[in-house]
Structure 1
């Protein structure tokens, strides 16, 4: 199991302090949502912010590019200190090259799928990825309601992972709180991104602990120690 607080919900006027809160929280990853105002109707921040934050922590930087032209940004975020970069399957015929490029930069590879997109579109790329990010809201803004109809996607991804030769994390992002995290864990997710439910709380460490307990209570004992299960990953932080 990996908890990944989303910096999108942090206090932008105190980012160094927010990173310090994250370091003390026990969370394994820091999730960084990059929005270009075109692929999604919002802007967030760019590689300069990531580069500024990198010396402040050794935690795993999980960079999610919600961008129309990620090929331009990949080397910039690699240089800035990303550990994993995720692009969207909705980019169509460019996806295979983008995944190859991320790997060639020495990074972990993520692939995201939006709620309206059929999960079958990601299946050809499973051998190439480390993380499958199933969006549980339509991306662009924090604080949205969890879309329950996304749960069957998580279940299907879990079936592919347990019945096939490929091992990848199943990450969920959007409307994640203690209740919805339990639902996602039961369906097979093992990486939980949350913004307002974590950075939005005064005590981030306590919020991370509550979310972790909620997930642990939902994981069947028979699955907790499987190779594709929810143990903290070997890529949880920089060595």
Structure 2
């Protein structure tokens, strides 16, 4: 299932399950879908690369079965290669890895794509986009972290707007943004070239359908359509 490859120039929204109620995860995703979400962002944390521990392939497999939306796994872990096969088996549509944790990035991206998933690379706030130069031909998307990974509810880092703009100057690759994305910050990222707006606490702090819709509409208005 190609999501990023069929994105075109559209702006779309994706709820981050990190801020959802895990006891009712499928229902939480469905509420965001009713607000126009087209992708589910699935954060995987190992308590080593980031100071938090979340969920793994078994939960991803259950969520894939429970929703019609494609699931996008973001591996915030020290050894992503060890988990990639299990997430491919779980049925996720795309997998991104942190460039800071990938020792042999080319091999890692090829491993993801060999399993039929789209491959992405995530960048921490202070990681320069120029590190992606030789990896760009193998990428289906780039994920820009606009907060430090590990926890939801953090404050948006405004300098990440320029990072999105720089990536779009480097290559016509879809840019996903995650961290402090709200109806106020989404337009800034979209104007810079972002197309996939990941939001967690901003979606699940109130009615997920209404909040997801607000973020998507704000982003699309910034694009002018």
Q: TM-score, normalised by structure 2?
A: 0.91
1:20 positional shift = 2.6
* Structure 1 portions without partners, runs of 5+: 162-166, 225-239
1:117 positional shift = 1.0
Match of 2:211 among 184, 197, 207: 207
Aligned residue number for residue 113 of structure 2: 103
Aligned residue number for residue 156 of structure 2: 146
RMSD, matched Cα: 1.3
Distance 1:179 1:137 in 2: 15
Match of 1:175 among 163, 177, 180: 180
Contact 2:80 2:97 in 1 (8 A): yes
Aligned residue number for residue 187 of structure 1: 192
Secondary structure in structure 2 of the residue aligned to 1:21: helix
Distance 2:102 2:23 in 1: 37
Secondary structure in structure 2 of the residue aligned to 1:65: strand
1:19 positional shift = 2.8
Distance 1:17 1:50 in 2: 15
Distance 2:132 2:37 in 1: 27
1:92 positional shift = 4.7
Distance 2:26 2:183 in 1: 26
Aligned residues: 215
Q: Provide runs of 4+ in structure 1 moved above 2 Å.
A: 22-25
Relative to structure 2, which stretch is displaced further, 19-28 or 59-68? 19-28
Aligned residue number for residue 23 of structure 2: 13
Aligned residue number for residue 31 of structure 1: 41
Query: Deviation string for 1:120-166 (max 9, x for gaps)?
Result: 101211111111001101100000000111111111112123xxxxx
Distance 2:221 2:33 in 1: 24
Distance 1:28 1:92 in 2: 28
Match of 1:88 among 86, 98, 105: 98
Query: 1:119 aligned to 2:129?
Result: yes
Secondary structure in structure 1 of the residue aligned to 2:89: helix
Contact 2:40 2:70 in 1 (8 A): yes
Aligned residue number for residue 233 of structure 1: none
Distance 2:133 2:14 in 1: 24
Aligned residue number for residue 76 of structure 1: 86
Contact 1:134 1:171 in 2 (8 A): yes
* Structure 2 portions without partners, runs of 5+: 1-10
Secondary structure in structure 1 of the residue aligned to 2:121: strand
Contact 1:23 1:57 in 2 (8 A): no
